């Protein structure tokens, strides 16, 4: 910004005016209110200072007081205003929590106010100051009272004002005023300093509330950024996890085929790896843009293909009444799709599964997805909760759903996700069990899961179920 003086030299008075207007319009709303409020407090102090100075220059003081008093009284009024202004600045900062007020400054301001008040009483007793005493006492006390009320409690302010009025109730009659005039003086002083102190405190209270709102908005912005970072990390983990698992699986298969002389089939596998990598790049870009979603039907087909490519038999159960995943609301489909991804990734990476069963049912106004696999590794040792299932719980919790994962009878592992369906969503239908893997026990799909994310089984890791789209492999669709 160009300095105001330099702008004035180049553009004259009109240029200075434009710079000032631009400087004001460039301020934020809070900055404008802050400047206005602080200016109001300073105005109260300096209006009182100006009024006291003018009273010290009136004819009774100039002609009736000692020359030293006639000259010193206005200077004392100015000094009182300067010290009170410094106190007001520190007091406003302290009220907003921007630092304490030096006690030495408070002592100096109180001393100058007492000296100015004593000078007014002495002049009233010596030169009369007929009719001017209430105003003179008020203007002598206002600068300090306006600033001091901002650094003490309201009760303390009331006690101090009461003590000052009690002292004036003793001193004012000593200036030769009668009872009626003394009461008028005390009433005027009480109203003036009380009202102006109240005005200053309320103005600063409003400013303080606006500062708190500004801080709350800043905190809200920081929380929004943190939430977006969590979303990005969670979605990126979900997107890449299964893709990387399939890439590793197919790369290993390609190496084995190449070693056995099946170069043509190895080339096909590496071509598929290249396609999956490109799909993963597209999905990462979608995550960055915040548009990444998951389709339940696509994920179910992809899970069958991916598990089939790994030599794992995958069966997907469907309701007997003909309802499909497409009947569910979009947000519920997306949440359950991420669950399918997580479970598929964990079945691939952990355990030695040969069969996996996925079932999607609706019962009592809720959609229930179960994923059950065999090949649980033993011994089972509880592990620390991982980020994958934790992320799924966060997704489901946003819809009022729950997720349980744990061992099931028959040396199997079961993951159960339950999401309530709104009244306008899928109607309640009798519960349908997912088909059990061949040779396994036929336990209810939600009976297991007592242990939360144990270290055994296909769905026990902290790796999330990232995804991909169906594509051709030796046995069906891949990521």
Q: For residue 67, give both structure tokens.
A: 């020359």
In terms of domains, do 334 and 426 share one?
A: yes
Buried residues in 115-128 as b, exposed as e (16+ CB within 10 A): ebbebbbebbbbbe
* pLDDT (0 to 100) of residue 212: 87
Nearest to 467 by CA among 305, 317, 285, 299: 299
Over residues 54-71, the mean pLDDT reads 75
Mean residue pLDDT across the chain: 75
* pLDDT (0 to 100) of residue 423: 65
- If one compares 329 and 438, the residue with the highest pLDDT of the two is 329
Q: How many CB atoms lie within 10 A of CB 447?
A: 12
In terms of domains, do 361 and 463 share one?
A: yes
pLDDT at 384 over 50: no
Residue 44: C-alpha distances to residues 98, 138, 145, 383 (Å): 22, 12, 10, 68
Strand partners, 356: 314, 373
Residue 40 lies in a domain: yes
In terms of domains, do 210 and 304 share one?
A: no
Nearest to 449 by CA among 393, 406, 385: 406
In terms of domains, do 163 and 306 share one?
A: no
* pLDDT (0 to 100) of residue 1: 38
Residue 250 lies in a domain: no
* pLDDT (0 to 100) of residue 407: 86
Structure pTM?
Answer: 0.49
In terms of domains, do 208 and 320 share one?
A: no
Query: What is the percentage of the chain residues whose pLDDT exceeds 70?
Result: 76
* pLDDT (0 to 100) of residue 59: 75
pLDDT at 454 over 70: no
pLDDT at 451 over 70: no
Residue 248 lies in a domain: no
* Cβ-based neighbours of 343, under 8 Å, separated by 6 or more: 303, 358, 371, 415, 458, 459, 465
* pLDDT (0 to 100) of residue 294: 67
Distance, in Å, from the CA atom of 152 to the CA atom of 401, rounded to the nearest integer, reads 52
* pLDDT (0 to 100) of residue 460: 36
Domain boundary among 178, 196, 215: 215
* Cβ-based neighbours of 212, under 8 Å, separated by 6 or more: none
* Residue 467 lies in domain: 295-479
pLDDT at 174 over 50: yes
**pLDDT, tens digit, for every residue of 303-341?**
888 888 778 888 887 654 445 666 788 888 888 888 888
In terms of domains, do 299 and 211 share one?
A: no
**pLDDT, tens digit, for every residue of 333-366?**
888 888 888 888 888 877 778 889 998 887 777 8
Tell me if 412 sits within 8 A of 459, measured CB to CB: no
Domain boundary among 163, 197, 215: 215
In terms of domains, do 207 and 95 share one?
A: yes
Using DSSP's 3-state secondary structure scheme, residue 418 falls into strand
Q: For residue 372, give both structure tokens.
A: 């059950």
* pLDDT (0 to 100) of residue 34: 86
CATH code of the domain containing 448:
3.30.565.10
* pLDDT (0 to 100) of residue 159: 92
Domain boundary among 151, 181, 215: 215
| pLDDT grade for 291, boundaries at 50, 70 and 90 | low
Distance, in Å, from the CA atom of 116 to the CA atom of 49, rounded to the nearest integer, reads 11
* pLDDT (0 to 100) of residue 478: 30
In terms of domains, do 207 and 356 share one?
A: no
pLDDT at 191 over 90: yes
ω into residue 379 within 30 of 0, thus cis?
A: yes
* Cβ-based neighbours of 384, under 8 Å, separated by 6 or more: 462
In terms of domains, do 200 and 332 share one?
A: no
In terms of domains, do 199 and 323 share one?
A: no
Residue 312 lies in a domain: yes
User: Which residue is it, tokens 């036929």?
Assistant: 442
Q: What does 358-383 look like in DSSP terms, one character per residue?
A: EEEEEETTEEEEEEEE----SS----
* pLDDT (0 to 100) of residue 61: 74
pLDDT at 232 over 90: no
Over residues 196-207, the mean pLDDT reads 89
In terms of domains, do 30 and 156 share one?
A: yes
The number of distinct structural domains making up the chain is 2
Residue 130 lies in a domain: yes
Residue 272 lies in a domain: no
Residue 220 lies in a domain: no
Residue 37 lies in a domain: yes
């Amino acid at each position: 910004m160009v300095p105001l003086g330099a702008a004035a030299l180049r553009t004259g008075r009109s240029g200075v005016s434009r710079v000032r207007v631009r400087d004001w319009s460039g301020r934020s709303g809070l900055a404008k209110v802050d400047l206005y409020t602080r200016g109001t407090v300073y105005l109260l102090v300096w209006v009182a200072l100006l009024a006291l100075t003018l009273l010290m220059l009136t004819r009774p003081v100039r002609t009736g007081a000692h020359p030293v008093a006639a000259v010193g009284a206005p200077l004392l009024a100015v000094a009182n205003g300067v010290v009170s202004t410094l106190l007001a600045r520190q007091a406003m900062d302290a009220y907003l929590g921007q630092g304490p007020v030096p006690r030495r400054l408070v002592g100096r301001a109180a001393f100058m106010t007492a000296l100015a008040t004593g000078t007014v009483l002495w002049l009233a007793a010596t030169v009369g100051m007929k009719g001017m005493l209430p105003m003179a006492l008020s203007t002598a006390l206002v600068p300090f009272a306006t600033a001091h009320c901002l650094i003490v409690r309201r009760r303390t302010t009331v006690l101090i004002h009461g003590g000052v009025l009690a002292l004036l109730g003793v001193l004012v009659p000593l200036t030769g005023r009668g009872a009626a005039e003394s009461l008028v003086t005390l009433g005027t002083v009480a109203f003036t300093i009380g009202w102006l102190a109240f005005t200053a405190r309320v103005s600063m209270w409003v400013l303080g509330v606006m500062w708190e709102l500004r801080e709350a908005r800043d905190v809200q912005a920081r929380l929004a950024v943190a939430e977006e970072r969590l979303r990005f990390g969670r979605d990126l983990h979900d997107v890449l996890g299964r893709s990387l698992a399939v890439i590793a699986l197919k790369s290993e298969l390609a190496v084995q085929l190449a070693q056995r002389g099946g170069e043509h089939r190895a080339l096909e596998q590496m071509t598929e790896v290249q396609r999956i990598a490109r799909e993963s790049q597209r999905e990462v870009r979608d995550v960055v843009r915040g548009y990444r979603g998951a389709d339940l039907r696509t994920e179910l087909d992809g899970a069958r293909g991916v598990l089939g490519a790994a030599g794992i038999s995958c069966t997907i159960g469907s309701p007997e009444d003909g309802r499909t995943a497409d009947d569910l609301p979009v947000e519920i489909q997306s949440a359950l799709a991420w669950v399918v991804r997580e479970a598929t990734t964990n079945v691939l990476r952990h355990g030695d599964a040969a069969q996996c069963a996925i079932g999607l049912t609706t019962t009592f106004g809720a959609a229930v997805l179960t994923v059950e696999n065999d090949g649980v590794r033993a011994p089972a040792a509880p592990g620390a909760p991982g980020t994958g299932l934790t992320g799924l719980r966060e997704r489901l919790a946003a819809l009022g759903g729950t997720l349980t994962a744990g061992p099931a009878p028959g040396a199997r592992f079961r993951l159960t996700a339950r999401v309530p369906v709104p009244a306008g969503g899928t109607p309640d239908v009798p519960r349908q069990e997912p088909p059990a893997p061949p040779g396994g026990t036929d336990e209810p799909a939600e009976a297991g899961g007592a242990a939360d994310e144990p270290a055994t089984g296909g769905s026990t890791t902290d790796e999330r179920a990232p995804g991909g789209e169906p594509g051709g492999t030796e046995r069906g669709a891949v990521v």
